[in-house]
Amino acid sequence: MKDSIRHLIQQALTRLTEQGVLPEGLTPAIQVENTRDKTHGDFASNIAMMLAKPAGLKPRELAEKLIAALPADAAVSKVEIAGPGFLNFFQNSDALAERLEAALADAQLGVRKSGAAQRVVVDLSSPNLAKEMHVGHLRSTIIGDAVARVLEFLGDTVIRQNHVGDWGTQFGMLLAYLEENPAAAESELADLEQFYRVAKKRFDDSAEFADRARALVVKLQAGDADCLRLWQRFNEVSLSHCQAVYDRLGVKLSPADVRGESAYNSDLPAIVSELQAKGLLSESEGAQCVFMDEFKNAEGNPLPVIVQKAGGGYLYATTDLAAMRYRSQVLKADRALYFVDQRQALHFQMVFEVARRAGFVHEGMDLEHMGFGTMNGADGRPFKTRDGGTVKLIDLLDEAEQRAYALVKGKNPELDEAELRQIARAVGIGAVKYADLSKHRTSDYSFNFEQMLSFEGNTAPYLLYAYTRVASVFRKLGKGVSEIGGKIDLQAEQELALAAKLAQFAEVLNSVADKGVPHILCSYLYELAGLFSSFYENCPILSAEDETVQQSRLRLAALTGRTLQQGLELLGLTTLERM
Ligand code: ARG
């Protein structure tokens, strides 16, 4: 709808330019917003205020001329001038009802991508395999998964890339330990945290062990068969732990999506020599570096992207350059989105720029760092266990399910054990994911079980419950929406408000896809659930006065249910028919 209003305004602008009211050559960005207060219409534009000056008119005068020049459109019932010169558009309720009918008849709920379909690489999760996955990778996994799902729903081809850290110096330490006691190591591998800890302790305590570890990294990177075998074994175990977390979370990631740092190993010398050939490299204290004028540290000294250390070793940045080249040349991506901690923002700004200058990515390719803030504990401090250790994801998810179980059992003691478990899983895991998704991704966020499991406010339990209310209407009726005739007819204020919100689904999903911000979808679903509530309280459905009214309301309820369900699924939540 916003797009079609923008189009109407564009046509009016063209007319006014032809009439000489507006000067030639204006190409304003036409802004159309959803209004908050529906008594002022459904959409508003400030275009008359933006163009008053070049037109040499007062904003309200220009607004009048614009209204006169607007082509008629069945979807718009009237346009009014408000305040200093806003144009307020009222949508025609019959046209709105027709749009909702079309959505109801469509598996895609009337949602289309606003631009052309693209090939999009989504770089997500990407834990370091030396340790068990911890909370730091939760946000990348969950937010990346939600955005990937939305892109796919809109018709993009999504290529998930789990850029795991499987090739660092820490592997020398692990290899040295594995080599030292292969039998013990096999059993200790089951607990990676423990394994990492003992290896690290050996490394810190024994200079001889540390030397061996360093030598093993060199051997590994030189392709020694024994080292490679142990390293592979280690990665297998580590990745299977990650996969268990993904499955438990219901995240769409599989072993096929893993393309770790080591995959780019053989490309690294070429990256350096190509940078050399392009004249982008300089040597600094023996290291190979790229310096760019726009990157300086706080003291104003040039900041390098180091691609090769003095000893010959390659770095995180070198691998990222190789990965970008692969994503452009082999995966043929139009866009690559990196869901990585905000603290790596500078790293990405710099490597993106190097990749462009070196021509590692094709010109039309968008590179976007979708940074996110730190996950803190309920006290606002970095998330730690009581004894100061890092929190294991699996433990966190266990606790979420246990708490949800107690909660649901408290509310519905009569439910049988199997159903209780199933509900607890959907609510517990859903709550953890939703709490993360509902905050703007760039802000830090506090992990708080009480808040995320509350049935009030913008939470998973609230939304999952809202969906069950819709489901219960149809359960009581004993029929599905396909068996209900009639059509949507919008009369009551609550019906109109709910309908207007339903019609915004496509626009919301398009913004999530453009900006990589799932919290917009969360707020939308929360508002939708609230509007459904007031509709439900004020407009009787099953006891409606006559059949056509009942049919209309059932159809609105059905579309609300499907929108909630689809929205929650795109966020990676499992809906329940009752809870
Ligand atoms: N393994 C890295 C870390 O834990 C994240 C990798 C993100 N992706 C990338 N292409 N650099 O910090």
Per-residue pLDDT, averaged over 479-499, amounts to 93
Residue of 124, 162, 340, 390 with the most ligand 1 atoms within 8 Å of its CB, for mutation? 340
Residue of 167, 316, 344, 368 with the most ligand 1 atoms within 8 Å of its CB, for mutation? 344
Ligand 1 centre and the CA of 260: distance in Å? 9
Alpha carbons 170 and 316: distance in angstroms, whole number: 13
Split at pLDDT 50, 70, 90, the class of 185 is low
Alpha carbons 18 and 30: distance in angstroms, whole number: 18
> H or E stretch including 375?
strand 375-376
pLDDT tens-place string over residues 296-347: 988 989 999 999 999 888 999 999 999 999 999 999 999 999 999 999 999 9
**pLDDT at res. 136:** 78
Q: Is 323 touching ligand 1 by the criterion CB < 6 Å?
A: yes
Alpha carbons 289 and 8: distance in angstroms, whole number: 53
- Minimum-distance ligand 1 atom for the alpha carbon of 164: 1
- Residue 541 to residues 105, 138, 467, 482, 532, Cα–Cα distance (Å): 21, 41, 16, 17, 12
Split at pLDDT 50, 70, 90, the class of 264 is very high
Nearest to 271 by CA among 177, 369, 359: 359
SS3 of residue 376 by DSSP: strand
Residue located nearest, by CA, to atom 6 of ligand 1: 126
- Paired tokens of 378: 């309920």
Instruction: Give yes or no for residue 134 having a pLDDT over 80.
Output: no
Q: Is 65 touching ligand 1 by the criterion CB < 6 Å?
A: no
Ligand 1 centre and the CA of 519: distance in Å? 23
Q: Is 123 touching ligand 1 by the criterion CB < 6 Å?
A: yes
Q: Is 128 touching ligand 1 by the criterion CB < 6 Å?
A: yes
| N-term to C-term CA, the chain | 36
Nearest to 471 by CA among 524, 536, 416: 536
Ligand 1 centre and the CA of 165: distance in Å? 7
**pLDDT at res. 39:** 79
Kindly report the backbone phi and psi dihedral angles of residue 341, in degrees, each rounded to the nearest multiple of 5, phi listed first: -35, 135
The chain-wide mean pLDDT, for the chain, equals 93
Ligand 1 centre and the CA of 194: distance in Å? 23
Per-residue pLDDT, averaged over 248-277, amounts to 96
Where does 19-166 have alpha helices with state H? 47-55, 59-69, 93-104, 138-153
Ligand 1 centre and the CA of 401: distance in Å? 29
Per-residue pLDDT, averaged over 284-303, amounts to 93
Domain boundaries defined on the chain: 2-91, 119-163+262-369, 170-252
pLDDT tens-place string over residues 55-84: 899 999 999 999 999 999 988 989 999 999
Q: Any idea what the Cα angle at residue 134 is, between residues 517 and 247, rounded to 5°?
A: 75
Ligand 1 centre and the CA of 349: distance in Å? 14
Ligand 1 centre and the CA of 341: distance in Å? 8
Residue located nearest, by CA, to atom 8 of ligand 1: 163
Q: Is 401 touching ligand 1 by the criterion CB < 6 Å?
A: no
Ligand 1 centre and the CA of 125: distance in Å? 8
**pLDDT at res. 43:** 93
Q: Is 165 touching ligand 1 by the criterion CB < 6 Å?
A: yes
Cα 136 → chain centroid: 16
Instruction: Give yes or no for residue 184 having a pLDDT over 70.
Output: no
Q: Is 320 touching ligand 1 by the criterion CB < 6 Å?
A: yes
Residue located nearest, by CA, to atom 4 of ligand 1: 127
Q: Is 131 touching ligand 1 by the criterion CB < 6 Å?
A: no
**Which numeric CATH code is attached to 119-163+262-369?**
3.40.50.620
Instruction: Give yes or no for residue 218 having a pLDDT over 90.
Output: no
Q: Is 257 touching ligand 1 by the criterion CB < 6 Å?
A: no
Alpha carbons 519 and 525: distance in angstroms, whole number: 10
Number of H helices, E strands in the chain: 21, 13
CATH superfamily name and code, 2-91: Arginyl tRNA synthetase N-terminal domain (3.30.1360.70)
Query: How many CB atoms lie under 10 A from the CB of residue 80?
Result: 14
Instruction: Give yes or no for residue 189 having a pLDDT over 70.
Output: no
Per-residue pLDDT, averaged over 552-577, amounts to 97
Least confident of 265-269, 359-363, 379-383, 412-416: 379-383
Instruction: Give yes or no for residue 445 having a pLDDT over 70.
Output: yes
Q: Is 109 exposed, middle or buried (0-12, 13-18, 19+ CB in 10 A)?
A: buried
- Paired tokens of 426: 């959907």
- Minimum-distance ligand 1 atom for the alpha carbon of 323: 10
Q: Is 371 touching ligand 1 by the criterion CB < 6 Å?
A: no
Residue located nearest, by CA, to atom 11 of ligand 1: 320
b/e burial code for range 509-542 (CB count within 10 A of at least 16 → b):
bbbbbeebbbbbbbebbbebbbbbeebbeebebe
pLDDT tens-place string over residues 393-441: 888 999 999 999 999 999 989 999 999 999 999 999 999 999 999 999 9
Q: 460 near 433, Cβ under 8 Å?
A: yes
b/e burial code for range 396-413 (CB count within 10 A of at least 16 → b):
bbeebbebbbebbeeeee
Q: Say yes or no: do domains 2-91 and 119-163+262-369 share a fold.
A: no
Ligand 1 centre and the CA of 261: distance in Å? 9
Sheet holding 76-82, edge to edge: 32-34, 43-45, 86-91, 76-82
Residue of 131, 134, 163, 170 with the most ligand 1 atoms within 8 Å of its CB, for mutation? 163
Ligand 1 centre and the CA of 132: distance in Å? 15
Q: Any idea what the Cα angle at residue 166 is, between residues 163 and 167, rounded to 5°?
A: 115
Q: 201 near 176, Cβ under 8 Å?
A: no
